[in-house]
Structures are given as C-alpha cells and as structure tokens.
Structure 1
Amino acid sequence: MLSIGEFSKICEVSTKTLRYYAEIGLIQPEEINPENGYRYYSINQLKKMLFINRLKSYQFSLEEIKAILELEEDQAEEELCSVLNRKRREIDDKLSTLKYTLKQMTHDISNLEKGIPIMSYFDQIDVQLVEIQPLNILYIRKMMSKDDYAAGYGMYFNNLYEKISTGRLTILGAPMTIYHSPDYNPAGNDTEFAIPIKEAVKGTRDFSGGLCAKTILNGPYSELTSVYAKLREWVEDEGYELVYSPYEIYATDPKQGAAPEDMVTEVYFPVKKK
C-alpha cells in the first residue's frame, strides 16, 4: 500500500487534489485508517491515476473523465475511441483558432509599425440595407448555456439535416441561427437553429422577411462581436431601430469544418425607420 503522500509524489498530483478527487468519486483511497484518517492507495491504482492524468492532458473535464471511468467494460474501448476522436476534433478547432489569432496579431503589429490604428478595421466593416424574402424554416429552439455555445452548433444542425434526409425534404438555403434573448445571460440564451426548406411539415414555421441591415464576416466566429457592434452603430447613426431578433446565415456550413479564415457568415438586423 502507498500513503497518500507517496501516491501523490509518484503521480505528480497534490494531496489536496487527491482528496478532492475522492470527494467527487473520481478515485477513492483503497483504505482509510479509522483511527487517524490516513489514506492509503494500492499499487494497482497507480495505473488508474495515470489514466486520469492522461485524459486531463487531453483537455477532458473531470465530469467527462468520471463518465469515461464509469463505462461498462464491454463498451469501454469503443466508447473511449469515440470520445477521443471527438476531443481531437475540438483541439484541432482550437489550434486553428490560435493560428488565426497569431496571424491577426502579426497583421496588427505590422499596421501599428506603419502608424495604422489597431481598430481601423472597424470602420471598414461594410453595412448594407437589404430586403429579405419570407422563408419556411425547419427549426430547433432551446436555451443555450455558455458551455453549449462553447461546444458548438454542429449537433443541432446535424439533427436538422437528419430530419431533412429522413423526410426527403428540399433544402432552400444555408443554415441559420436566430438569437431571441434581449441580452446575454451565461445561464441560458434563447437560441433557434434553422434550415430553410420547401415543404411545410411538422417542425417548420414561417420566418418573416423584411428590411434588414446586413454585413458579412470573412473570418472566425470570434470576430462576430465586432460585426454586431458595427451593425448597432450603423442602425443608430442611420435612424433605424431593431424590430425582430438578429440572425446569422452561414455561407460556409458550420458542420463542414472550414478553417477560421475561410468562414463566411452573414449577419442580419431586421430594422425599420424610427
């Protein structure tokens, strides 16, 4: 048997962390001395602790690791392969985003060295006034938490595409997201995922057209805040007001996994004159 200190030293995990892991049911001591409360781990638990460390190094959360450890033995390897592939895709996405960030930072440094203000790009965002035709959309609407947004939209659009395939429905446009919440709430935001289709079937609704302020983002979704800020500025300066929920149309489909710099997103603000 190994004391908690010995176990901690071998696995390079603090005793405080080991106590927390025991508290949440991740890995329990093999024995606890009832007289003094000393904790002991078996040699066989070293492999489990190293497995936990490896999953942590792969950016799995403790909740995800606990779920993996609780898998039935007959499905553990297949499920582990699946979750590792999913995590690898997430890390690839993060790496692509970081590469774009480095490229953008290099561009900003170059501009600053030339005397060009770092925020000069904001004034170059082009806003147009367009008339949008009504649509029939197949949709999923749910409250999205901060973690849901971080996980991405792929699952929701995949569900819609599955319904389209199963029902042999006709796609008429690119996927879109409509944001119904009046403000940002980390606890949950009212978000609708939709794809325009020809057929009016269960799960579809009418989407009103009308006058919109529109701009196009060529780049990663992280830059959308600048686009939204520019649209709000334009709406105010031009004497308009927002009448319906803003929405995004993805000219590059989110499920296709395009590189950040290749993404094209159209953003629309439904407006009317004040």
Structure 2
Amino acid sequence: MLSIGEFSKICGVSTKTLRYYDEIGLINPDEINPETGYRYYSIRQLKKMLFINRLKSYHFSLEEIKAILELEDDQSSEKLCSALNRKIREIQEKLNAFEYSLKQMSNDILNLEKGIPIMSYLDNIEVQLVETQPMNILYMRQMMSSDDYVAGYEKYFSRLYEKIATEELTLLGTPMTIYHSPEYNPAGNDTEFAIPIEETVKETRDLPGGLCAKSVLKGSYSELTSVYAKLREWVENEGYELVKSPYEVYVTDPNQATVPEDIVTEVYFPVEKK
C-alpha cells in the first residue's frame, strides 16, 4: 500500500487534490485507517490515477472523466474513442479560433502602422434591407447559459436533424437560432434552435416573414457581436426599430469549414419604420 503522500509524489497530484477527488468520487483511497484517518492507495490505483491525469491533459472536465471511468468494460473502448474524437474537434475549434485571432491582430498592427483606426473594420460590415418570406420551422427552445452554447448547438440541432430523418421530413433550409431574451445573461438566455421544413408536424411553428435589416458574416462566430452592433447602429440611423427577436441563419456547416473565413452566417433584425 502507498500512503497518500507517496501516491501524491508518484502521480504528481497534490494531497489536497486527492482528497477532493475522493469527495467527488473520482478516485477513492483503497483503505482509510479508522483510528488515524490516514489514507492509503493500492499499487493498482496508480494506473487509474495516471489515466485521470492523461484525460485531464486532454482538457476533459472532471465530470467528463468521471463519466468515462463509470463506463462498463464492454462499452468503454467505443465510448472512449467517441469522447476522444469529440475532444479533438473541440480543441481544433479552439486552435482555429486562436489562429483567426492571430491573423486579426496582425492585420490590426498593419492598419495601425498605416494610421488606420483599429475599429475601422466596422465600416466594412454591409447592411441591407430585405423582405423575408414566412417559414415553417421545426424548433426546440431552451434556456442556455454562456457555457452551454458550444455543446448546446451540436446537441439540439442534432436532435432536430434526428427527428427530420426519423419522420422523413423535407428540409427547406439551413439551421437557425432565434434569440428571445431582451438582454444578455451569462446564467441563461432564451434560445430557440430551428430548421425550416415543409411539413407541419408537432414541434413546428410559423416564423413570420417581413422587413429585416440583414448582414452577412464571413468568419468566426466570435465576430457576430460586431455584426449585431453594426446592425443596431444602422437600424437607429435609418429610422427603424426592432420589432421581433433577431435570428441567425447558418449558411455553412462549421464542421465542413477548413478555416473560419469559410463560415458564412446571416444575421436578421426584423424591423419596421418608426
């Protein structure tokens, strides 16, 4: 048996962390002396602790690691492969975002050296007034926290596509998100995930058409706030007002885009003249 200190030293994990892992049921001491309270770990637990460390180095959360550890042997390999592939996609998305940021910073430096203001890029965001047609949408509406969005988009759109495939429904457009909350709240925002379809079935509704201020973003989703700011400015300056919830239409699948610049997103602000 190994004392908690020995186990800590070998695995490179502090005793405080090991006690926390015990509290959350991630890895428990093999034995606790009832008289002294000293914790002891078995040699076989070294492998488990190293496995936990490995998953942590892959940026798995403790909750994700715990779920992996709880898998049955007959499904562990398949589920682990799936989890690793999902994590690879997440990390690749972050790498793409960092590369995009580096490119933007380099462009900002070049512009500043030429005497061009750093926020001048807003002037390049085009806004047009369009008349949209009514759509029948299959939808799911959820309260989404700021931490939920990345996983949530995949989760809820996947459910909608699964329903479309199962019930053999007819696609009429690409996925879209409608934002109903009057203000941004990190704890939760009223978000509607939708896909236009032909058939009227349970969980469909009519999305009215009408006059919209529209802008198209070609780039990372992180730039959407700039598009929203530009649209809001245009609406104010042109004497319009927002009358319904704004929405985004995802023209391209981000999983198919090799670089952020390939991602195309349309943003719509339903408006009317003041």
- Normalising by the residue count of structure 1, what TM-score does the alignment of the two structures yield? 0.95
User: Percent identical across equivalent pairs?
Assistant: 78
Aligned-pair distance for 1:219?
0.1
Query: Would you say 1:64 and 2:64 are equivalent positions?
Result: yes
- Which string of whole-angstrom CA distances, capped at 9 and with x for unpartnered residues, describes residues 83-128 of structure 1? 1111111111111111111111111111112221111101221111
Matches within 5 A, 1:170-249: 170-249=170-249
1:204 partner letter: T
Amino acid at match of 2:90: E
The equivalent of 2:45 in structure 1 is 45
> Quick one: distance in 2 between partners of 1:202 and 1:43?
56
How much has 1:154 moved relative to structure 2?
2.1
CA distance in 1, matches of 2:166, 2:48: 43
Look up the equivalent residue of 1:45 and give its one-letter code: Q
Consecutive unaligned residues of structure 1, counting only runs of 5 or more, are: none
- How many equivalent residue pairs? 274
When residues 169 and 258 of structure 1 are mapped into structure 2, their CA distance, relative to the original with a 3 A threshold, is farther
1:251 match: 251
User: In structure 1, how many angstroms separate the alpha carbons of the residues matched to 2:199 and 2:78?
Assistant: 39
**Residue 117 (structure 1) aligns with:** 117
Equivalent position of 2:261 in the other structure: 261
CA contact under 8 A between 1:175 and 1:253: conserved in structure 2? Answer: no
The answer to whether the 8 A contact 2:257-2:263 is kept is no
What is the CA–CA distance in structure 1 between the aligned matches of 2:24 and 2:113, rounded to whole Å?
A: 52
Quote how far apart the aligned CAs of 1:152 are: 4.8
- Local SS of the residue matching 1:146: coil
Letter in 2 for 1:60: F
- One-letter code aligned to 2:194: A
**Contact 2:111 2:117 survives alignment (8 Å):** yes
Aligned mates of 2:239, 2:268 — CA distance in 1 = 17
1:15 and 2:15 correspond: yes
2:168 partner amino acid: R
Are 1:75 and 2:78 counterparts?
Answer: no
Greater mean alpha carbon deviation, residues 255-264 or residues 118-127: 255-264
State the alpha-carbon separation in 1 of the partners of residues 140 and 128 from structure 2: 29
Distance 1:100 1:21 in 2: 37
Q: Indicate the SS of the match to 2:118.
A: coil
Deviates more, 1:6-15 or 1:180-189: 180-189
User: Is the deviation greater in 188-197 or in 50-59?
Assistant: 188-197
Match of 2:76, SS state, is helix
Structure 1 residue matching 2:95: 3-state secondary structure: helix
Quick one: distance in 1 between partners of 2:104 and 2:60?
A: 28
Runs of 4 or more above 6 Å deviation:
none
